[in-house]
Chain A
């Protein structure tokens, strides 16, 4: 067990020197979570926007479902994806378990409902405002969808950031489906959990600092985006 001061010192050097092992872990974390956000946005944005715009029977059931999925615990998502991808599971033949691909799938399932639900809320409010004009003008459904997504772009960027924040900080799902394998599936959160339990606080602390910095950056970006959008009246 290192003492705290020493751990801090080592952690500091690791960060400043851009230690290769550290950077590998950070890099994989970013790769996995950014991929998951991209895929989730591809699914969640149109889905959420369609839910916000359309009126069909059973719509409220759908919305309750999406909102409920938003609160899924990461370990449960991890478990479900594990069952799907394990050798005995329906997608076992893809041999994805314990690979970054599996981690991207798990995080995508985790944050797609978040992106869809937040998008639904934003688009629904904008649509209420625009609906009369679009109807008067005779805009097609696809045209409405595109225009609403475009006009809500600043708010939707913050939705993406919220999804990214949740994905990068999540540990349960990637731990289960990734397995925290060194040089293969080790990401920041799983590494922190492992190193702390081993008593190697330096690496854990260094990763913790970077994770914290990322969280701060995400939040600052959200505030900055809001500010810009309000100032230019595009929000």
Chain B
């Protein structure tokens, strides 16, 4: 499915430019981390790449192919606020698996829930879980789909340390197994831990795209420099 290539990508709503003339390429290997201050357009970019919204200008190509329903079914997305069904943890897993026409997979569900540390909570209502548990369920549910590309929109923002560790561990495992991870975070320390390359957004523009070492050692834009120094950039 990769590389992913965007050309002059733009997204406008009621005159507000949320993504502005964004051209970039994401390669098959490594974890790509999208960074930038709140409101930079990170979530909008992910939704465009996954095909949940149509760009208002420019193009997106997955190995030359425009996003469509079939490409989307080979990808998975974890939303910034997990969208969980009003059902038990297990039923949430089951619903996702059924969409891929795989029958009763009790063992697979148990294994995945065990993997993210939710085994004992399988029969609990999903929406009664803590924030960290909800994100881990969203992760297990995404893993169940065995996606080739996984979008993760700030999955570890304001989570308990254990959940953060689980999520980062899974990201590393996915990388080793050849799944492309596109990970949004505005936590610099987290980006340092998991990123292979960085996409730095500011006000809907791509300010920088480089490998992680270069980005953290010698950011080329002054915005990125200030951002890494922990300054507020406007």
A contacts, CB < 8 Å to B: 129-130, 132-133, 135-139, 143, 147, 151, 232-235
Given contacts A138-B99, A233-B125, contact A132 B69 (CB under 8 A): no
**Are A137 and B96 in touch, CB under 8 angstroms?**
yes
Given contacts A136-B76, A138-B73, contact A130 B83 (CB under 8 A): yes
Q: Which of the residues A130, A143, A234 comes within 8 Å of B99, measured between beta carbons?
A: A143
- Complex formed: what's the CA distance from A167 to B128 in Å? 36
Closest to B83 in A: A133
Q: What residues on B are CB-neighbors of A143 within 8 Å?
A: 99
Closest to B95 in A: A147
- Complex formed: what's the CA distance from A138 to B67 in Å? 13
**Are B86 and A233 in touch, CB under 8 angstroms?**
yes
- Min CB distance A150 to B, Å, is 8
- Min CB distance B16 to A, Å, is 20
- Min CB distance B184 to A, Å, is 15
Count chain B CB atoms within 10 A of each CB in A129, A133, A139, A232 and give the residue with the most.
Answer: A133
Q: Which 8 A-B pairs have the closest CB atoms?
A: A133-B83, A233-B127, A233-B125, A138-B73, A151-B86, A233-B128, A136-B77, A234-B86
Q: What residues on B are CB-neighbors of A138 within 8 Å?
A: 69, 72-73, 99
Q: What residues on A are CB-neighbors of B69 within 8 Å?
A: 138
Classify the secondary structure of A's interface with B. helix
Q: What residues on B are CB-neighbors of A234 within 8 Å?
A: 86-87, 125, 127
Q: What residues on B are CB-neighbors of A137 within 8 Å?
A: 73, 76, 96, 99, 145
- Min CB distance A53 to B, Å, is 15
**Are B72 and A136 in touch, CB under 8 angstroms?**
yes
Closest to B126 in A: A233
Q: What residues on B are CB-neighbors of A151 within 8 Å?
A: 85-87
Q: What residues on B are CB-neighbors of A139 within 8 Å?
A: 99
Within 8 A of A (CB), among B75-130: 75-77, 79, 83, 85-87, 95-96, 99, 125-128
Given contacts A136-B50, A232-B125, contact A147 B83 (CB under 8 A): no
**Are A135 and B128 in touch, CB under 8 angstroms?**
no
Q: Which of the residues B76, B83, B86 comes within 8 Å of A235, measured between beta carbons?
A: B86
Closest to B77 in A: A136
- Additional 7 contacts, C-beta under 8 A, given A136-B52, A234-B125: A133-B83, A136-B75, A137-B96, A138-B73, A147-B95, A233-B86, A233-B125
Given contacts A138-B69, A233-B86, contact A132 B79 (CB under 8 A): yes
